[in-house]
Chain A
Amino acid sequence: MMRITVTVNGQVYEREAPGHRTLLHFLRQDLGLTGAKEGCGAGECGACTVLLDGQAVNACLVLAPEVDGRRVDTVEGQAVDGKLSTIQDAFNRNHAVQCGFCTAGMLMSTQDLLSRQPKPRDDDIKEAIEGNFCRCTGYLQIIEAVRDASGRTDGKGGLKHA
């Protein structure tokens, strides 16, 4: 066991973590933050995407002791006092959520993208969410939502690809 100190969504946590615990299981089971989902557990699907020191990573492919002294952001950190983030609001308005399993990962990949490129081109958006699988295949609405979150559309939302 190793004692780790990690800042998650701005709050400092000190916990014991065995070497073989993944960051995903640490977040979900030890901290009770179940927003990040376990899809494949092998870095294929991106449902567990979180930000590690501001960079999108698959939490299933990080060991908990690796995050000692570092900053992790999860989807729970996006809404503030019950008010959706700009990205979440854009996903909502553009019907970018179907079953919802990929949504937390999509939101975090989008947060990483917009922090690097506030006005991404469509190719940038596709590259940023390349590692996030939506098995409802609602990609067009998701891309539309990211465009909207970046201020590239009229902001009215709605279904543009029905």
Chain B
Amino acid sequence: MLHDFEFRAPKTRAELLQVLADHGGLAKLMAGGTDVIVNLRAGAIKPRVVVDVKQVEGYGALAWSDAEGLVIRPATTINDLLRLPGLRERFPLLHACAHDLASYQIRNRATVIGNIVNASPCADMAPALLCLDARAVIASQAGEHEVPMREFITGVKRTVLLPGEVLDRVVVPAASAGARGGYAKLKRINGHDLGLVAVAVHKHDGELRVAVGSAAPTPVMVAGLGENDDAASVVAAARAVISPISDLRCTKEYREHMVGVYIRRLLREVA
């Protein structure tokens, strides 16, 4: 049983922003519901109003253009993204991360933007969006402003979003298209599982980037590496920015070790 709350499904962005302005911190935005409903059921959140963003006009759009890049809106599910023609060719890393997220049923509901706003350290979409230099466009009644994806997630389940604000779209710049990339995720089973640790490697225009999930309070990126840096120095640079913990799923030593294993493996794969 879920606690009693009001359900709202605004049809326009103006209506959505009004509902958020009216209820402030007592409103909880919901897209696919795959995290929100789990948290409601566990009693971890007790919003007065749950605001479904999926019916907002334009929020289901997913479009690629050479000028703007890839624009992802709040109702775009992981499977919508995977079905976008040309995704794997333009953004192999984004495709790999999306494909590794949960199960088929979950991917039919979970959204790209919800995965980012939920801000889990193991968010599968974060490593790709960090490496690809994505931008987050935040909207409220005061207007729109933009923050780099690298600044959007601020801690475990924490983001820069304030009450009254919505992550209106994520823009993956066209300049990132064509980058080589790969994703490796350590799980306890071959089926769907949260990552024990995950590594993304991205190579583009002479630059190498590595992002690591589940090894720090937020997904983290190692920037400024050279395309020809040797594996040992890339692993050392990654180890300098992660701070894994031991928990019920594995030890911090195992996480740190596997970050190195995956970096070496992915560097060979995307060479």
A contacts, CB < 8 Å to B: 2, 18-22, 41-43, 46, 49, 52, 55-58, 60-63, 65-66, 109, 112, 127-128, 130-133
Contacts of B42 in A (CB 8 A): 42
State how many angstroms separate the Cβ of B123 from the closest Cβ of chain A.
16
**Is the CB–CB distance between B103 and A46 below 8 Å?**
yes
Q: Are the CB atoms of B109 and A57 closer together than 8 Å?
A: yes
Once the chains bind, are B2 and A56 in contact (CB under 8 Å)? Answer: no
Q: How many residues of chain B are within 8 Å of chain A by beta carbon?
A: 29
Q: Is B38 an interface residue (CB 8 A)?
A: yes
Interfacial residues of chain B within 30-59, with CB under 8 A of chain A in the complex: 32-34, 37-38, 40-42, 50, 52, 54
Can you add 20 more A-B contacts, CB < 8 Å, to A63-B7, A131-B106?
A20-B2, A20-B40, A42-B38, A42-B41, A43-B34, A43-B37, A43-B103, A56-B105, A56-B108, A60-B37, A61-B33, A61-B34, A61-B109, A63-B33, A65-B7, A65-B52, A66-B9, A66-B54, A112-B104, A130-B192
Which residues of chain A are near B224, meaning CB under 8 Å? none
Interchain CB contact under 8 A, A128 and B7: no
**A127–B37 contact, CB under 8 A?**
no
The CA-CA distance from A46 to B107 in the complex, in Å, is: 13
Instruction: Assess whether B105 is in contact with A46, with CB atoms less than 8 Å apart.
Output: yes
How many interface contacts (CB-CB < 8 Å) are there between A and B? Answer: 86
Given the known inter-chain contacts A62-B33, A62-B109, please indicate yes or no for A109 contacting B104, CB distance below 8 A: yes
* Chain A residue at minimal CB-CB distance from B49: A19
User: Contact partner of A20 among B4, B54, B79, B109, CB < 8 A?
Assistant: B4
Q: Are A18 and B103 in contact (CB under 8 A)?
A: no
Binding site for A on B (CB under 8 A): 1-7, 9, 32-34, 37-38, 40-42, 50, 52, 54, 79, 102-106, 108-109, 191-192
Query: Which residues of the partner chain B approach A58 to less than 8 Å between Cβ atoms?
Result: 34, 105-106, 109
In the complex, which residues of chain B have a beta carbon less than 8 angstroms from the beta carbon of A60?
37
CB–CB A20/B104 < 8 A: no
Are A131 and B103 within 8 A (Cβ)?
yes
Which 8 residue pairs across A and B have the least CB separation, nearest first? A131-B103, A19-B7, A20-B2, A131-B105, A55-B108, A130-B103, A56-B105, A61-B37
